[in-house]
């Protein structure tokens, strides 16, 4: 199956200034692919080029180098855009529209007949929790309600690909949870979802794969589990046995933490260069008849992984 989004050596340099033209690089040599039917997260600090990348995908900005495709159509092409539902960050809908008429308007822009919009509207509004607010003018909507309506208009024409820029921005925790469940159900329906978000916990909870952009370059791309694992394996053992025997059994590894808990329970953490050493440590412990109450491999949270990647980057473009 061909990827839903394919980005190949994409680069963008803005030119600013009227008299003294100045080049501002925003993206450089970015390549990745988003599998169809997955939820993909794009992460990066402010100014990393995330919005530029999305705008290139939608044809709002022309790339300086490279190319990208959406559902096998060149990025920005009308056919490609017809199959995308987009929720921009800080989107603004005309104030004269109500929830219902906004969906009619944006549905019409996506090529839906008014009758078809009217047919789909109740279910969509229910899905985003706005079923009672369809007649209210958009200008009276709260930030969270506007985000929900934005998501509704992106889903209205049933696109196979959704690009969501900060979808939970301004949404309360309950709303976030609802939105996560919406995204999950969309994924279950086979849709591809491309999410750009600052909220790493949200991304961690819903995304299958993520890409991390820093200063316009792609630092990491892959499944979240890959990103959150360290290069050296850390394992935490909870053991019951003699301290001297335990230390002897773990002599092949480096003990980084040692804690005696409530009498004879010992919690210790080891660092090993590969899994074979961990296996050997386990064999030695069992040979000395030491009880293994728990063996827990230690993993970073996405936030820690993200911060590590960002902090490791000191080479701005």
Partner 1 sequence: MRPYWTIFVDSFHQAFASRVLWIVLAVCTLVLLALLPLALQESQATQLSGHSVRDWAGLATQIEMASVEPADSPGKRIWQLADPDLRDAMVGAAVRGRSTQELRGLVERMAAGLNRLLMRPDFFAAQAWENVELDDTLAQTLERDLGGLSADEIAWVNRQLFQTAFPRLVARLPETELQLTYAGWRLGGPLPLSRELARPAIARLLTRVLDFLVGTLAVFVAILVTAPIIPQIFESGSIDLLLSKPISRCGLLLVKFLGGCAFILLTAGYLLVGLWLILGLRFGLWNQAVLACLPVFLFLFVVYYSVSTLVAVRWKNPIVAVVVTILFWAVCFTVGVSKQLIDRVYRLPERLVTLVPGADELLAVDQSGRLVEWQAGDWEPVLAPESSGARQRFSGTQMMLGPVYHQRDQTLLYLEPSGGRRRFGFLLAGPRFYTASQTLGSWRSTRGPTPPIGTAWLFLDPEETPVFVTTYGVLKLELNRPSPPAADAGIEVLGMRIPLPTGLKQPFTALGPEPALRLVEPFAAAMHPQSGDLVTFSGGQLVYLKRQDSGHYQRSATRDFSPVNGPAALGFAGSWVLLVRSDGVVQILKADDLTTHTRFLPDGQSEPYRVETTADGHWFAVLFHSGALWLHDPRSGAVCVLDDDVSAVAFDGLNHLLAADRGRRVTRYELASLTPVAQQTPPLDLLETIYQYAILPCYTLFPKPGELGDVVQHLITGQQTVALGSPVAADAREARARVDLWGPVFSSLAFVLVMLSIACVDVWRMDI
Could you tell me the smallest distance in angstroms from the CB atom of residue 39 to partner 1?
19
Measured CA to CA, the distance from residue 254 to residue 266 in angstroms comes to 16
Measured CA to CA, the distance from residue 5 to residue 306 in angstroms comes to 23
Scanning residues 146 to 165, which ones bind partner 1 (CB under 8 A)?
A: 150, 153, 163
* Interface with partner 1, residue 175, by CB under 8 A: no
Among 111-119, 182-190, 208-216, 301-309, the segment contacting partner 1 (CB under 8 A): 111-119
What SS3 class is residue 170? coil
Sole binder of partner 1 in the list 4, 61, 195, 268 (CB under 8 A): 61
Q: Would you call 152 exposed, middle or buried from its count of C-beta atoms within 10 A (0-12, 13-18, 19+)?
A: buried
Among 33-41, 105-113, 220-228, 229-237, the segment contacting partner 1 (CB under 8 A): 105-113
Spatial CB neighbours of 184, under 8 Å, sequence gap ≥ 6: 206
* Interface with partner 1, residue 110, by CB under 8 A: yes
* Interface with partner 1, residue 65, by CB under 8 A: no
Sole binder of partner 1 in the list 28, 30, 58, 124 (CB under 8 A): 58
* Torsion (CA) 282, 283, 288, 294 in degrees, nearest 10: 30
* Interface with partner 1, residue 121, by CB under 8 A: no
* Interface with partner 1, residue 55, by CB under 8 A: yes
Q: Are 40 and 195 in contact (CB under 8 A)?
A: yes
Q: Are 57 and 5 in contact (CB under 8 A)?
A: yes
* Interface with partner 1, residue 140, by CB under 8 A: no
What sign does the CA torsion over 32, 38, 44, 46 have? positive
CB nearer partner 1, residue 44 or residue 85: 85
Residue ranges in contact with partner 1 by CB under 8 A: 14, 55, 58-62, 78-79, 81-82, 84, 86, 88-97, 101, 105-106, 108-113, 150, 153, 163
């Amino acid at each position: 199956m061909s990827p839903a989004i394919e980005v190949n050596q994409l680069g963008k340099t803005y030119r600013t200034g009227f008299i003294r033209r100045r080049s501002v690089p925003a993206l450089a040599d970015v390549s990745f692919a988003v599998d169809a039917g997955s939820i993909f997260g794009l992460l990066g600090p402010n100014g990393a080029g995330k919005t530029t990348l999305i705008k290139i995908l939608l044809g709002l900005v022309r790339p300086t180098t490279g190319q990208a495709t959406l559902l096998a159509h060149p990025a920005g092409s009308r056919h490609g855009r017809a199959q995308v539902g987009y929720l921009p960050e800080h989107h603004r809908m005309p104030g004269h529209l109500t929830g219902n008429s906004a969906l009619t308007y944006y549905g019409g822009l996506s090529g839906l007949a008014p009758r078809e919009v009217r047919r789909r509207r109740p279910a969509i509004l229910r899905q985003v929790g706005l079923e009672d607010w369809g007649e209210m003018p958009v200008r009276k909507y709260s930030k969270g309600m506007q985000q929900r309506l934005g998501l509704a208009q992106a889903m209205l024409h049933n696109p196979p690909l959704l690009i969501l820029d900060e979808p939970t921005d301004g949404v309360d925790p309950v709303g976030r949870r609802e939105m996560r469940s919406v995204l999950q159900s969309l994924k279950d329906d086979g849709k591809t979802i491309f999410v750009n978000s600052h909220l790493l916990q949200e991304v961690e909870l819903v995304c299958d794969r993520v890409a991390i952009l820093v200063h316009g370059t792609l630092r990491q791309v892959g499944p979240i589990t890959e990103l959150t694992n360290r290069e050296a394996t850390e394992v935490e053992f909870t053991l019951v046995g003699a301290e001297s025997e335990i230390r002897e059994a773990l002599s092949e590894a480096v003990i980084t933490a040692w804690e005696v808990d409530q009498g004879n329970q010992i919690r210790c953490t080891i660092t090993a260069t590969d899994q074979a050493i961990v296996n050997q440590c386990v064999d030695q412990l069992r040979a000395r008849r030491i009880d293994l109450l728990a063996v827990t491999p230690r993993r970073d949270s996405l936030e820690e992984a993200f911060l590590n990647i960002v902090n490791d980057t000191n080479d701005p473009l």
